[in-house]
Homo-oligomer: A and B are copies of this chain.
Amino acid sequence: MASEPLPIALDAMGGDHAPLEIVAGAVLAVRELGLPVVLVGQPRVLYEALSAHDATAEIPIVRAEEMLSMDEGALASLRRPRSSIAVACHLLRRGDAAAVVSAGSTAGVVATGKLRLRAQHGVLRPAIAVALPTLPHPTILVDAGANADVKPEMLVQFAHLGAAYVEASLDVKNPRVGLLTIGTEPEKGNKLAKRAHELLESSPGLDFAGNIEGHDLLTGKVDVIVTDGFTGNIALKTMEGSVRYAFGQLRETVAESRVAKFGGLLQRPRLRELYRRLDPEAHGGAVLLGLNGTVVIAHGSSRARGIASACELAARLATGKIVTKVGERVGTIPRSHRLW
């Protein structure tokens, strides 16, 4: 008897549009992508929402009466051990789910994930990885915000976390790793980046391509971009804001000058596709790497399509054995590159 694949545990109560859009996303994931999903949250509300899709028989519900609100952070996750995200993590930990997906507040999901799943053996600090919309395949940015203050040795670990992500989900061998700093020469950067450059350069098992700068974020020059969570978060949000601004200004300018019905122009399939690719709210989401289990953090404003993408990413990472790959990689880090 072939065993059923494990389901994605989907936090139905996290996100700006929870629970209705989360439930709709679960229905999409099950019906269009063929992924098994369990919804975690308040049974009455979820049953009603599933009924509207005629999906009560397809998607099981796991009870969690409490939840973290979008403006709650790390402390709330300690106070509410039975929140929907905590219960989702619990399912993963006891082997009843393949991965967790939540569109809840990043701080809350990170804190709960770390508390309930714990860091993998050998991982100093779990980190957030985000896929930047480069072609032909995404570039993985690590850390996008989990660790504001880090040591150089942690950046070596982030490089391995990102490389494992690439190997598990993108079918790229020996991912090239770049260090985000302020000049291409090895000695350019702050103290952290300079020391990290030395460590990365002498790290076995890493294809280190050297320093990259802010304007390389979207050029696809490397497969993995390593940085601390402070810089990474600012770079990511700057990129998102700048792309949004450029499109917005363009649309406004065309509207004002009555050059063309640019609104109409943007409806064309290829332009819509471009716009969606560059829209941060449309992709799968951030991944919390380095835990004993895969946790995908969907954008807080995700609607059904974004939730389904996040489930797909979570399933792909779980199938690609991301946790095993991370474990193998951090196991190869030599003593000289560790903090202990």
The interface residues of chain B lying within 8 Å CB-to-CB of A189 are 148, 230
Residues A93-111 near B (CB distance < 8 A)? none
Tell me the complex Cα distance, A43–B28, Å.
72
Contact of A239 among B238, B254, B268 (CB under 8 A): B238
Tell me the complex Cα distance, A242–B271, Å.
17
Contact of A274 among B148, B249, B270 (CB under 8 A): B249
- The stretch that binds B, out of A61-69, A209-217, A285-293, is A209-217
* In contact, A239 and B237 (Cβ under 8 angstroms): no
Copies in the assembly, this chain: 2
In the assembled complex, A265 has its CB within 8 A of some CB on chain B: yes
* In contact, B230 and A249 (Cβ under 8 angstroms): no
In the assembled complex, A233 has its CB within 8 A of some CB on chain B: yes
* In contact, B238 and A214 (Cβ under 8 angstroms): yes
- In the complex, which range does the number of interface residues on chain A fall in? 35 or more
In the assembled complex, A278 has its CB within 8 A of some CB on chain B: yes
Per-residue CB proximity of A55-93 to B under 8 Å, as 1/0? 000000000000000000000000000000000000000
Contact of A268 among B149, B181, B191, B257 (CB under 8 A): B257
In the assembled complex, A182 has its CB within 8 A of some CB on chain B: yes
In the assembled complex, A219 has its CB within 8 A of some CB on chain B: yes
Tell me the complex Cα distance, A159–B234, Å.
19
* In contact, A257 and B270 (Cβ under 8 angstroms): yes
* In contact, B246 and A271 (Cβ under 8 angstroms): no
Task: Known A-B contacts: A214-B234, A253-B274. Give 4 more (CB < 8 A).
Answer: A149-B191, A214-B239, A231-B231, A250-B271
A-B contact pairs, 18 of them (CB 8 A): A148-B193, A190-B230, A214-B235, A214-B236, A214-B241, A217-B238, A219-B241, A231-B231, A234-B234, A239-B242, A243-B243, A243-B246, A249-B278, A250-B274, A253-B271, A254-B265, A259-B268, A259-B271
Interface of A toward B, CB cutoff 8 Å: 145, 148-149, 180-182, 189-191, 193, 213-219, 228-231, 233-247, 249-250, 253-254, 256-257, 259-260, 265, 268-271, 273-274, 278
